[in-house]
Each structure stands twice: as structure tokens, then as C-alpha cells.
Structure 1
């Protein structure tokens, strides 16, 4: 089920809220938690009921490991063997569904063989709930986990706002809230905050990300049609598509959880405002960065074993990050490029230290650093989106090949047309502004998106400062209705594919 679907907004959420809080009102705590877990399974199985067997089996296996590691620790053992086995099983399940066809295809290319692909369907969210449970098993081995009933553990894994595309939550962030008696009653302030945040996320997804998506699909399917300027419009469109798509999902997840009085961790914090690539990764997919830091980077030695080892550890983390995002060489190359740039950034910092630069040079330096970082992120997104490395390189070739004459500054009319959504076309017709300023929508979408991403505060800040009043009510109603009426077809979130 999609957050941006009629059945979710009109049926699922009202029914889920009503059932959960009504059961809690009658002090049926376990029944209410089972209801929430059951609704989360409906949400997940709506895509494909076969997914339910996978997630339920995963939950049962990991809960078994948790229980028996605990018993071994009580008897004086460490449970290390079972922890390793549990992690291996999790990675094995993830690897089978996500990487089998990739490895077969790679073997076929290297050895000129003709092994048939299995065409295994990737269960939605498997990368997220697998990492979530790996962290739980490792923390259990480390003695950092208390005793939890099965239903609370299952709810921690399957809680629908964060199930499909994160954030990657930890047990200490979630299970305690499910047990908190103060969160069992419907809270009007939290409900209105949640609706406000959900509306912001829905608007980002439907009104911005999906519009850019049409442009991106056109450009990458046949990049030979692109001119110099068209190529840059396509590249920037993907930069903003993935930004508003992921940001929108994160906002909606925060809002939905808040409706149930649950606070999930921030996963997105205006990453395009970053002045270094290191800062970018402190702001983009923050819980994935946290996972790799806790369970890969630090166990490898972190920065405690000298500069060279630190750089190697950083490289390994980003290589794995690329591989986690997708089973393809484009994702691996994307991860490698980010890893190398982070290492270069750290190397420069290690050489010059944290020297303070006097104003105004400091601001000039930060501005240049931001330009370099934003440019790098834009270019590497091309590999992230490309159908293949060759496809990505072709798009970049078009972007860095200036066509002679005026042809290079012409944008494909189909690209301009993709920005003309029905409501915007009606507005243009009423004002006749498109006749006065041709293709205003193309540049308007890009400019507005740039301003939102670079200059406006993060949605979380708006969320924290939110107070129910006439202005916020009008804002929420207008954008909710506009977004709701703009929902058309099935438009999944990009991170559903990871």
C-alpha cells in the first residue's frame, strides 16, 4: 500500500487510528498492539501477499535468536556463535532476494556463460527491516537489549510508517514507546502535527517529485535526444526528484508515526545545504549512516588505528552503502565515488587541520565548498539513476558537450511539456503568462525546488514549531486537497526499490 494512494488515506489510516485508540481506551493493551501489528501486515501484504511469509519468517527467526542469545548469556555464555549465525541468515536472505540475479549476470559477463536469471522479485523494504533486525541481534549479544514480548518486537520491525523505506530504527527508540502508557490515548496536538507533516510530505511527493520523475524517465530512456541544456535539465530534475521523493517519504513517515504518539528518528535534514560531502552524509539517510557507523565502521577500528586504516574503513563503508542501495554496478560506482570524495575531504582536513579562516574569506571558502559539494552530488546522482554505467556516461557526455550554435541551448519540447501539469496548465491559460514568458514552468519548477532545498528550513523545524491556528489550518487544507486531487496512477517512492 502506498502513502500516496486513495485507499491508504481514505480507509487505512482512519481505520487504523480508530481501532488502535479505541482498543486502548478499553485498556486492551495487547489486543491494541496486535491490531497495530495486523494492520501493518495488511499494509505490507497489500503489495503482494507473498511478502508476508518473508517478513513473518524473518521476525520469527530473529526473535528466536534474541531469546536464545539471552538464555546463553544468563548461563554465562556469550551467544557469539548464535549472533554470527543470526546475522549470516539475515544477510543470506537479503542476498538471495536482492543480489542473486546480479551475481548470475556478472558471472555470465565475465565467463561468457549462459546461466539463466531467476528473476527473483525483491520484497519491498527487505533491506530496511533486515538491517533493523541485524542491529537488534548484535545489540542483544552486546547485552544492550531488555526482555521484550514477541508482539512488541514484531511491532518494532513491522510498524508501517517506517517499514518500507526507513528510517532504520533501533529497539530502544521504538519498543519503549509502545510500552509507554502515556502514549495510549489519542492526542489532539500530535494528531494535528502528524496531519500537518504528512501533508507536507505528500505535497513534496505528488506536486514536485512525480513531476520531475516524468522528465527524468524521458531523458534516461533515450539520452541521444538530449541537447546540452536538456541534459542539465534532466540531471537537475533527478537531483530534485530523489530529494523531494525521499524527503517527502520521511516527512510522511514522521507524521504518520506522530498520529500514533510515536516519535521516529529524523532521517533527512536538508542535505543539499551541506558544504562538505561528510556533512551531506550526516544529513542524507541519517539512520543508514548511523547503522554503518555502529556496526561496520567502529568494529573495523573506526579512526582509532591510524589514518590509512581510517581511510580504508571509510572506503569499505561507502562501498557497502552503494551495494546496499542496489544490485548493480551503477550503485557500486556511486558508492565508490562518494567514498573516495569523503576520503579526499578527510585527507585535506588532516593536512590543514581545523584552522579558522577570518571573515569574509571564511564565507567565500564555505560558498566554494558548497558549490563543489552540490556539483559532485549532482554528477554522482547520474550514475545512481543510470540504467547502466554506459547510459550514465552518455548522459554526462551530453551535459559536457556544448552543441555549436543555438541548438545546444534548446530544451526538448517534450521536457517542457512534462512540467505542464493539468492544474498548472489551467493557471497558465487563465493568466496567459506562458505566452509572455515561454516555458516558464520548466524554469519555475527548477528555481522553486532549488530555493526550497537550499534556503528554506527543514520540515522537522516547521514540525517542531507547529501550533494549530487558522494559518496552519488553511495551509494544511489547501495543500492536502491540492495534493490529494493530484494523485494519479501508481507512483511508488524511489527508496522502495532499495
Structure 2
């Protein structure tokens, strides 16, 4: 089921909200069970054949976590339990996500023709990483003993289950345990509805609106210089508003239940360096890779050379996490190179004098954006060869078409660029503070409140009217 669908907006969400708050007047645990069951139903509607896998994953990781938290195991036994849990998760992820990719490469090397066709369970990357982090923290002694219903809801919570963010138990489970969250808060419901409306509009009207232009670069066999750039930029902005829209919708839905999700997207194209870009793009994945991969590999504690090696390995695996294809490996490797260059530049070049800081930041923003656009070509292309074909066209200004279609595309791309760099993001508009559990303080009173509400209603109406019959979020495939 998609957030941007009429059954979800008009049927599923109202029923789940009503049941959650009705049960919340009677007990503290029953609404948690209700929300967990609703989340499982949400998953099963589109992926019923993989529901047993999700349930087995929850039972397996909860059991291993319980051993690490409660049982008085000796250090070697604790290490063995952690290794068993993490390896078990990775093996399942590897079979479903990478078996076909490995088989294809073996066939290419050995000249064989073995075929492996395994359907990819939606959301498996997200709920696997979420639970690996739980097991590692349990091993480190950083996890309290949680009840099974709260843990099950933590894993299956439907606003995040399909496409993130990657949740952390310390942040989410205490919110599920609070009794106050089980009672409706009109202010949070209003703010959640507004944020959801903004996200829906971004998805159905903005991201889906520019999607046809992507074909200029990625479906043409020989794109011209202008077509390649326009198609690459169109995809760059489509992915931006698609992911931004989903992140807003997830936060808005969760707020209606009185639960704050972490911010996962914070105007990444305004970043002035590639390091800052990764602090703004898919923020929870960046934090996971840092805390559970980069730092355990040694981080920057073992010298500059090993730091660059650790960065490269982390980004390679981060690219492979996004998809089982060499294009994603190339995308991750490219970002690894970017990060190494960024850190080397920061170490070798002294700080800019204050009078040059603003031009330097502007130049940094432009260079970072161009680097990201080039990397997105690999992310979107069907093969590395196709990506190189697009990049070759982008580097060859000798062939330019620039007809009526290209002029219209340029105008649309410029409008999207203005929205990205000049408009405030949703957090700024709504004053969303995940850490402080505050949102929409400017809506509580004031003369602008009616105008703001009218505008939000209009955005919601356009977002609903823009819903198409089948328009998945791009990150669903990962």
C-alpha cells in the first residue's frame, strides 16, 4: 500500500487512528498491539507472501536480543550470540537481495547459464539494518529489556517500514511506552496533517511532474549534450522531491499518533561539501553506516591512509545496500572518492579568511551539486555502460538539439532548482524539532494561522488530486 493512494488516505489511516486512540482510553498496551497489527496488515496488503519472513525476523532478533540483555552469558558466548544474530540477518538479506546478482556475475565469469529469480521483499533492507543496530547495542549493554509488543511495533511501525527512516530503539520504544502518546493531541494531529499534505504535494505534483523528462537522458540511445544534462538534472530533482515527500509524509503520519520520527532529509542540495551532503541526505542511513560500520572498521583513529580506506569501504557497502547492481557499486565508490577528496582538501588547505568565506561556500555548493548529479547518473542508469554513455554526452557540447521540448524542459528544471535552493524546507516551515519533541509552535496563535491553514488545505487538495494510479516512491525498490 502506498501513502499516496486513496485507500490509504481515505480508509486505512482514519481507521488505524480511530482504533489507536479509542483503545488508548482503556489501557496502555492494547493500542501498541493494535498499531503493530495494523502495521503488519499495511505490509501484508502489498507483500503478503513475505509476511512470514518479517515475523520470523522479528522473533529471531528479539530472541537473540533477549539473550544478550537478560541472560548472564560469558564474553565469548555473548560474542557468539551477536555473531550468530548479525550473520543470520545478513545471510537472509544476501539471499533475497544479492543471490541473483552473484549468480549473474558467476555466469559472466564462468560462461554458465544458471538462473536465480528471487522476489525482493519490500523494506527488507530497512528492517534488517534496524534490527542489526538493536543487536549490536544489546551486546554493548545499551538496551533495556523491552516487551515483545513494543519491539514488534518498533520494527514494523508502518510509517517507516517500507522506505525508512532507519529507526533507533532508544528513540522510538520509549515513545511507544508513554501513556500520553495514546491520547489524541489536536495540535499534533493538525501539524501532522499539514506535514503530510506538504509531502503528498511534493510527491504527486512535483516529483511525478518532472519524471517524464528523465527519459531525455536515460531512455534515449544517443542523447545530445542538452538532453543528457536536462535528463540528469530532472532525475536529480525527481529523486530529491520524491524522497523529501516520502520523508515528510512519514513524519506527518507518525505525528498524528503523537510519535516523533527522526528527520531523514534536510535540504541536501544546499550542502557546501560532500561531507555535509551526507549529513543531510538519508540522515539515518548515514548515521547507521558511521556508527555500525565506519567506526567499528577503525574510523579515523588509525591514521589518514586507513581513514580513507575505511571511508571507501563504507561507501562501497552503502552503495551495494541500495541495490544489487554494478551501477550502485559505482555510485558508492564515487561517493567514497568524493569523501576522501573532501577530507584531504580540508586537511591540506587552510581555512578561508572571513572575506572569502561566502564565495567559497557558494563555490562549494556548486561543486558539490555537480558531483552529486554525476553520481546520480550511475544510480539511475540501467547499466554502467549506459551511465558512461550519458556522461559522455554530458561532456560533449558539440551535439546540441535544443528544440521546443528541450526549452520547455529547461524552464521546468529552473523552476525546480529555484524551489530547491530558495524555498524553506518543511522543518523550517513547521518548526519541527525531533529532539525537543516540538512542532508548529507558530501555529498555536497569531493572525497568520487562518491563512496558513487555508494554504495547507489547498496543498492537500492538489496533492490528493495529483494521485496517479501507480506511482511508487523511488526508495521502495531498495
Q: Do they superpose with TM above 0.5?
A: yes
Matching of residue 395 in structure 1 with residue 390 in structure 2: yes
| 2:69 alignment counterpart | 70
- Hey, what's the Cα distance between the residues in 2 that align with 1:67 and 1:358? 54
- Whole-Å separation in 1 of the counterparts to 2:389 and 2:109: 23
Aligned-residue offset at 1:449: 1.4
| Aligned counterpart for 2:233 among listed residues 220, 233, 236 | 236
Query: Which deviates more, 390-399 or 261-270?
Result: 390-399
Task: Please state how far the C-alpha of 1:458 moved relative to its aligned partner.
Answer: 2.0
Of 369, 376, 379, which residue of structure 1 is paired with 2:371?
A: 376
* 8 A Cα contact 2:217 2:231, kept in partner: yes
Q: Helix, strand or coil: the match of 2:164?
A: coil
Identify which range, 485-494 or 238-247, moves more after superposition. 485-494
The answer to whether the aligner puts 1:319 opposite 2:312 as a matched pair is no
Q: Hey, what does 1:462 align to over in structure 2?
A: 429
Extract unaligned runs of 5+ from structure 1.
Answer: 417-438
8 Å CA contact 1:223, 1:395 repeated in 2: no
Moved more, 466-475 or 343-352: 466-475
Match 2:262 to one of 242, 246, 265: 265
> How far is 1:51 from its partner?
1.8
Indicate the residue corresponding to 1:428 in structure 2.
none
Are 1:91 and 2:90 an aligned pair?
yes
Q: Which residue of 1 aligns with 2:110?
A: 111
CA deviation profile, 1:108-129 (whole Å, cap 9, x unmatched): 112211112x211111110000
Indicate whether 1:410 and 2:406 are aligned: no
**Normalized against structure 1, the TM-score is what?**
0.90
1:398 offset after TM fit, Å? 2.1
Pick the aligned partner of 1:344 from 337, 341, 346.
341
Distance 2:204 2:221 in 1: 25
Q: CA deviation at 1:75?
A: 7.0
Note if contact 2:217-2:230 (Cα within 8 Å) is conserved in structure 1: no
Q: Which residue of 1 aligns with 2:435?
A: none
Alpha-carbon distance in 2 for matches of 1:129, 1:176? 19
Residue matched to 1:39: 38
2:283 corresponds to 1:286: yes
Q: CA deviation at 1:477?
A: 1.1
Native 8 Å contact 1:270 1:458 kept in 2: yes
Q: For 1:217 and 1:258, how far apart are their aligned partners in 2?
A: 36
Structure 2: runs of 5 or more not aligned: 432-439
Aligned to 2:332, the other structure's residue is in SS state helix
C-alpha distance in 2, partners of 1:156/1:244?
Answer: 27
Counterpart position of 1:220 = 218
Partner SS state of residue 184, structure 2 = coil
Q: Give, in whole Å, the separation in 2 of the partners of 1:493 and 1:3.
A: 9
1:133 to 131, 137, 158: 131
Q: Which residue of 1 aligns with 2:79?
A: 80
Q: How does 1:196-215 map to 2 (within 5 A)?
A: 196-215=194-213
Query: For 1:334-386, what per-residue CA distance to the aligned partner results, in whole angstroms no more than 9, with x for missing partners?
Result: 00011011101101111124x24231x22222221111111110111000000
Structure 1 residue 497 corresponds to structure 2 residue 477: yes
Asked if structure 2 preserves the Cα contact closer than 8 Å seen for 1:129 and 1:163, the reply is: yes
The count of residues paired between Structure 1 and Structure 2 equals: 465
Taking the TM superposition and a 5 Å limit, the aligned residue runs for 1:466-485 are: 466-467=442-443, 469-485=449-465
Distance 1:331 1:75, change over 3 A: closer
Match of 2:18 in 1: 18
* Counterpart Cα distance in 2 of 1:315 and 1:399: 26
CA distance in 1, matches of 2:157, 2:253: 10
* Secondary structure of the structure 2 residue equivalent to 1:186: coil
Separation in 2, partners of 1:312, 1:240: 31
Cα distance in 2 between the residues matched to 1:159 and 1:285: 18
Which sits farther off after the overlay, 12-21 or 40-49?
Answer: 40-49
Q: 1:294 to 1:73 in 2, by over 3 A?
A: farther
Name 1:152's counterpart in structure 2.
150
User: Once superposed, what is the RMSD of the aligned Cα atoms?
Assistant: 1.6
User: Aligned pair in 2 of structure 1 residues 217, 58: CA closer, same or farther (>3 Å)?
Assistant: farther
Per-residue deviation, 1:319: 0.6
Change (3 A) 1:48 1:217: farther
Q: Tell me how far apart the structure 2 counterparts of residues 61 and 228 of structure 1 sit (CA, whole Å).
A: 52
TM-aligned CA deviation for residue 35 of structure 1: 0.9
Distance across 2 between alignment mates of 1:51 and 1:255 = 27
Residue aligned with 2:336, SS: helix
Deviation at 1:462, TM superposition (A): 1.3
What is the match of residue 29 of structure 2?
Answer: 30
Distance 1:467 1:311, change over 3 A: same
Describe the superposition over 1:14-33 as per-residue Cα deviations: whole angstroms up to 9, x where unpaired.
00100000000122x22211
Q: Does structure 2 conserve the Cα–Cα contact (< 8 Å) formed by 1:78 and 1:141?
A: no
The answer for the alignment partner of 1:452 in structure 2 is 419
What's 1:425 paired with?
A: none
Paired with 1:211 and 1:73, the residues of 2 have a C-alpha distance of: 57
Q: Output the TM-score relative to the length of structure 2.
A: 0.94
Q: Is the aligned partner of 1:365 residue 2:365?
A: no
Deviation at 1:402, TM superposition (A): 2.3
| 8 A Cα contact 2:377 2:391, kept in partner | yes
SS of structure 1 residue aligned to 2:413: helix
Distance in 2 between the 1:366 and 1:473 partners?
A: 36
For the 8 Å contact 2:195–2:249, the answer to whether it is kept is: yes
Displacement of 1:302 in angstroms is 1.1
Secondary structure (helix, strand or coil) at the match of 1:73 reads coil
Q: 1:169 to 1:300 in 2, by over 3 A?
A: same
